[in-house]
Amino acid sequence: MKQNINQIARSDIKIILRDFNTKVGKESVYKPTIGNESLHNETKNNGIKMIQFVISNGLNVRSTMFPRKDIHKETWYSADRRTANQIDHVLISNGFRSAITDIRALRGPDIGSDHNLPKINFKVKLRVKTGNKYNEKRKMVSIFQNPKWKQEYAINY
């Protein structure tokens, strides 16, 4: 994955949504990168590896930044539905971290999985170059407006 990330231009927005299978805690040493709103109190070994990956690639973990009730942070349930964890995370380039304005796990949709779907609010200012000037325009961008991405997401997940 690191090789693919390095091939993306620095000016492009890098967003990674994935089941990292990691528990990220609320340790103050990681606070600038992961925030203080994790479901867990202690970072496990896989979480430390993910944090190292995040820091080395100039990313930010946004899924642990927003205050929510615990039920809206839980992204995975065990088969007995008694154990819940926050193991699915959203990473974004540091320069665009403010573009994600909210994240929560949706518990209602029955998707035939032991994971909850993350709902992500995303706002970004786009600039269009006209001649030698940039014109800023505010637009709400949805990844699913592109039929190719919508179909690819439906096939993979």
The pLDDT tens digits for 85-116 are: 899 999 999 989 899 999 999 887 777 888 88
pLDDT on residue 136: 56
| Six token digits for residue 6 | 């390095």
The single-letter code of the amino acid at 31 is: K
CB 63 within 8 A of CB 117: no
What is the residue extent of each domain of the chain? Answer: 2-120
The single-letter code of the amino acid at 51 is: I
CATH class of 2-120: alpha beta
Higher pLDDT pick, 96 / 130: 96
| 23-67 tens-digit pLDDT | 999 999 988 899 889 999 999 999 999 999 999 999 999 999 999
Report the distance separating Cα 73 and Cα 26, nearest Å.
14
| Six token digits for residue 152 | 């690819």
The pTM of the full predicted model, rounded to 2 decimals, is 0.74
The single-letter code of the amino acid at 72 is: H
pLDDT over 90, % of the chain = 32
pLDDT over 70, % of the chain = 82
